[in-house]
Amino acid sequence: MVKDKFSFGVTPRMREVPPGQCAELKFSGKMDTVETDWGEKYSFEITLLSHPSYESLPKEGIQTTWESKSQCAAQLLHAVTEYGNAKGGDNDLDKALKEVWKLSRTEEGTYFLDQK
């Protein structure tokens, strides 16, 4: 009889936010760069709380990964890396990343990330 249980698969990727709309999320884990079929992207493990391309999400959200080439994703990863290295793990940015964030996309397609 086998005691261990196995599970295989990948974390789902968040759908693109449509132009002129926004999503709400919380950062929940690893932040890094990844190589994809479309080149290098910034990757963030998140809890997705609301998104216009999902009909319904549970109140507690869903675990997913946000991958993006956007400037706001690049700036976030740079800030996390630089601020974390300078200040250590217990700093204002780390604390803020535990809060809810709003990911907005302009009609032109530019992303903005704001602490809610």
Q: 15, 60, 86: which is closest to 78 by C-alpha?
A: 86
- The per-residue pLDDT string of the chain (116 residues; one tens digit each, 9 = 90 and over) reads 667 888 888 889 999 999 999 999 999 999 999 998 989 999 999 999 999 999 889 999 999 999 999 999 999 999 988 876 555 556 788 888 889 999 999 999 999 999 99
The model's pTM is: 0.85
d(CA 48, CA 7): 22
Q: Contact 72/112 with Cβ under 8 angstroms?
A: yes
Sorted by where each begins, the domain ranges of the chain are: 23-115
| Residue 62 to residues 4, 10, 23, 24, 41, Cα–Cα distance (Å) | 26, 14, 13, 11, 21
pLDDT tens by residue, 62-86: 999 999 999 999 999 999 888 765 5
